[in-house]
Structure 1
Amino acid sequence: MSDTTTRALSLLNLLQTHRHWPGTELAGRLGVTERTVRRDVERLRELGYRIESTPGAAGGYRLEAGSAVPPLLLTDDEAVAMAIGLRVAASGRLLSGAETTVTALAKLEQVLPAALRRRVNALAETVQPTGIRSGAAVSSEMLGELALATRDHERVRLTYTTASGEVMKRRVEPHALAPAERHWYLLCWDIERDDWRTFRVDRLSDLEHTRVLFTPRDVTPEQVDEFIAVARSWSPQAVAGAAVMDLGLDDMRAYFGPWGQGAQSVEPGRTSWPVGGSDFREVMYALAWIPAGVPYTVDLPDEARSTMREALVRMLAALE
């Protein structure tokens, strides 16, 4: 690297640390004349850095905010600090900008030298932000790779381990990453199943990039939220059962949308739909969504069945 380039980088580093630098002080710091500082400032301006200068005895230089983000010059310690901060932000399950956080983390860690990456890994294990509910550990590398694949619309292969321990190989088109409660979820189009699927990221492994691009399917933020809500409802429930309705599987799925996941055809024209919740009230709420006029039966544990029956009797009496 030439002396001119080294000096220009040193000048940029100084401009990034203070809002305003007198020209004389910059010259003294760099060991050059004020004329040389002016030439180096012009070189940085040609590279896209907006540097404001003010004349006079109290004049100097200031790095302005531009319309685009120019390359940042970071010291080793600053790069490590940024990577740690992004990891903490990602583990904090941000309510908004979650995908942006892990994408930025992936970009930064991708260019970190091996020695700095080891420092980040070591420090990250000791950093535990307060106020964050504990959840399943998620690899920041996996989050970053998924975020980049989602941004670039690239198909990926991955391994998914279900809650029961079943291991499956999947080929998917990632559309969205979202945190919910204590976990991260990936919403993707499953190519073999020809349908939407939502996976918990902590259960994913062995991600492979295919370098095959895809055209994103239309999915609104509200639909993403709904898919994630459905995925969260698949966790073990205190009350679990099934409703068997006189409705064909295709018609049932068309009516329930994402909430029809897990439904199975028991015979032509009849569909079994898993229902559950923290108590019988949530089961009652789910059953209320079965289309009007469609007969159905419910299989529930005896205790929940008795409690629900008593509540319904009182409701009917109140309606009378």
Structure 2
Amino acid sequence: MARPTARVLALLEILQAGGGFTLADLAGRLGVDERTVRRYAAHLADLGMPVEARRGRYGGYRLAPGYKLPPLMLTDEEAVAVMLGLVAANRAGLATAGGAATESATAKIRRVLPAVLARRIDSLLATVDFTAQVRQPASPDIEVLLVLAEAARHQQAVSIAYTTWHGRSGERRLDPYGLVFHAGRWYVTGHDHHRGAVRTFRLDRIGAARPVPGRFDIPASFDPTTQVLAGLAAVPYAHDISVVLHTSLAQAQRRIPPSVGTLTEVPDGVRLTARVERLDGAAQMLAGLGWPFTIDRPDELKDEIRALAARLRTDAGR
């Protein structure tokens, strides 16, 4: 914090103690001259603080009677960072309780900001836009999120009430290895005692979570993010595809995230295996990569590639 700014805040702290202070007293406490005190007081007034000046031989300053400054004190840069962080979290789906928590937090912070700064931030939030829209977020219960976070940190087993995407509900005992936020949704991954294997669960499908007796060790080199993305890539969508991309493994890994599919190095390139819901979307993805490729399966994907190529030729000829 710049030295003059620190002294302005120090003046505010002195005035919050209540009562009136002479210019000489304030100058002595701050280690500046009386003219500088006047400048600091004017700066506080510009920020919306109700600083009152007293005239006369023993003139000085005080805060308006009954005024209580909220305990939150932020610089302009800090306030902008906090407000943008809340807005971005709400948009990305990081917020819990359907965004109500971030909205109420934003409103509270907005109320305690100086009037001038609040108006400037309002202008920023009213004009800013974001790219890379995420899919519809699914907010978890905040208590579930916090219980799982503590359990993962302290390697404590938990019991969860989970509802599958088929609608079946039941109790599971889980050793939570870590939490992952991906594409608008929260996931927990760990050892599922019911299945005897590492599984991934969506937090918005967990109705309750509570610690139970039992400690565990996280396997060496276990990466929760890699586990979650690989699990998402293995979701049983309608079509199973296998394509050899004629490029290097390093190039393919830079362009294709683990959530899309599995990459395996083969003699003539890299084999991509994945499950997809729509073959036309897979065709567009392959065309967009820009590498030559050979389709192993299914034959219907070849038909989609031919149809896409025909549409592109037609568009190019217009």
Pick the TM interval, shorter chain: 0.3 to 0.5
